[in-house]
């Protein structure tokens, strides 16, 4: 029994000695590698400081082509309701031969900026990363009646007439003009221009330009 115990103790001492030797050798290797790794890290940082990697900005032609690809940028939409009165044959004989109707018009007006109109002189890019873009003026893209929501509210015809068959068509034509006029008076072009500028600025920021200048072109009268 004592011989077996002595054998176990001997084996244990040998294992402890082997582990201790391995730990000492490993520690010495770490000390040897440490200064080298440190020196390498310092050298890399110094190289990056004195020789920084240049930032490459998209050139002017690239910016022009990419902005043009956005094409018709719809940035403002209005829903307008107008009541239009259309009449014919009014006056003294109106109750006999006249025709009068009230037309309730619902319409949609969409405005934006047509970026496909961007010309070569409208974009400049500096080596320092400043980009200047002259945006085309905002314009109305769509102005139309919503036929599902537009209707004749009231119509009064004279005793001796069945009404003018073209009167409702004329009322619709006038309504389309009035709807666009109302949207313009309410500032739809100003909103469309502002929204387009914000969109283009965010897009240019994604290209990592250091300074962005957006100039709005003068709208056509």
Q: How far is CA 85 from CA 69, 82, 189, 206, 220, in A?
A: 44, 10, 27, 51, 31
pLDDT of residue 71: 75
What DSSP state is assigned to residue 165? Answer: T
pLDDT(35) > 60: no
- In tens, the pLDDT along 154-170 reads 878 755 666 677 888 88
Sheet with strand 211-216: strands edge to edge: 123-125, 130-135, 211-216
3-class DSSP state for residue 218?
A: coil
SS3 content of the chain, % helix, strand, coil (to 5): 50, 30, 25
Percentage of residues of the chain with pLDDT beyond 90: 29
Q: Domain limits of the chain?
A: 1-53, 60-216
Asked which of 55-59, 84-88, 153-157, 186-190 is least confident by mean pLDDT, the reply is 55-59
Q: How confident is the model at residue 219 (pLDDT cuts 50, 70, 90)?
A: low
Q: What is the mean pLDDT of residues 187-197?
A: 92
**What's the token pair of residue 206?**
């994604």
Distance CA 14, CA 1 (A): 20
Query: Model pTM greater than 0.85?
Result: no
pLDDT of residue 46: 47
**What's the token pair of residue 215?**
């100039």
pLDDT of residue 62: 74
């Amino acid at each position: 029994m004592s011989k077996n115990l002595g054998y176990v103790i001997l084996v244990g001492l040998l294992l402890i000695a082997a582990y201790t030797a391995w730990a000492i050798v490993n520690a010495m290797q770490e000390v040897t590698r440490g200064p080298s790794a440190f020196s390498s890290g310092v050298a890399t940082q110094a190289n990056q400081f004195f020789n920084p990697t240049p930032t490459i900005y998209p050139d002017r032609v690239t910016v022009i082509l990419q902005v043009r690809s956005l094409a018709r940028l719809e940035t403002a939409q209005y829903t307008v309701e107008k009541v239009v009165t259309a009449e014919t044959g009014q006056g003294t004989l109106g109750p006999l031969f006249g025709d009068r109707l009230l037309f309730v018009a619902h319409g949609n007006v969409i405005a934006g900026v047509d970026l496909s109109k961007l010309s070569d002189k409208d974009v400049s890019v500096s080596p320092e990363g400043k980009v200047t873009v002259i945006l085309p003026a905002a314009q109305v893209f769509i102005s139309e009646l919503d036929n599902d929501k537009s209707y004749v509210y009231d119509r009064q015809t004279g005793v001796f007439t069945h009404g003018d068959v073209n009167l409702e068509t004329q009322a619709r034509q006038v309504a389309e003009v009035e709807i666009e006029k109302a949207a313009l008076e309410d500032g739809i072009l100003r909103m469309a221009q502002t929204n387009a500028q914000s969109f283009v600025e965010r897009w240019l920021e994604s290209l990592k330009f250091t300074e962005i200048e957006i100039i709005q072109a003068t709208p056509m009268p």
